[in-house]
Amino acid sequence: MLKKEVYPMFETILLQKRGDGVTTITFNRPEKRNAMNPQMHREMVEALRMLKYDEETKILVLTGAKDSFCAGQDLKEYFYKKLYEEKDPFAHARDRELSHTWRFRELRYFPKVTIARVNGDCFGGAFTIVTSCDLAIAADEAKIGLSELNFGHFAGGMVTK
């Protein structure tokens, strides 16, 4: 039987080590279909930087809680909340930098094998998580879409780089 360790230090992700070299990060906002928010971006930067130097972790698996992998950005929190409710004009720039840091630097250049286990919906910015991993495995029922087109944005963001 594998020893499992769960690290409760995060709010929006679950970090679990199985004891056989495999560590899993589960996006854990099922009520929002695991959409990314600023808190998740901060936690992913912290988790990836911690695991990069963790000698027990040989393989990192990313997946989503319940029926969704990740629904992309939580647009209300990412754009509206900081600017209109908190009145912080620089919040979006900070949040965007964190979002890019973990997906396009920390994950893309992670020194260990990374696997995206796409267990359900994968939309918008979540696609960049998949393409930053070394390997992706999708469930038969998984749906992948680049919803940025609906908002007049370039689909896939930095995926084409």
> Bridge partners of 114?
60
Instruction: Just give the CATH number of 5-160.
Output: 3.90.226.10
Are the C-beta atoms of 38 and 32 separated by less than 8 Å? Answer: no
Can you give the residue ranges of every domain in the chain? Answer: 5-160
- The pTM score is 0.89
What is the pLDDT, as a whole number, of residue 33? 98
> Taking residues 132-144, what's their average pLDDT?
97
Reply yes or no on whether the pLDDT at 20 is more than 80: yes
What is the pLDDT, as a whole number, of residue 107? 97
- Cα end-to-end distance, the chain, whole Å: 42
* 92-113 per-position pLDDT tens digit: 788 888 888 999 999 999 999 9
CA–CA distance, 103 with 151 (Å, rounded to integer): 21
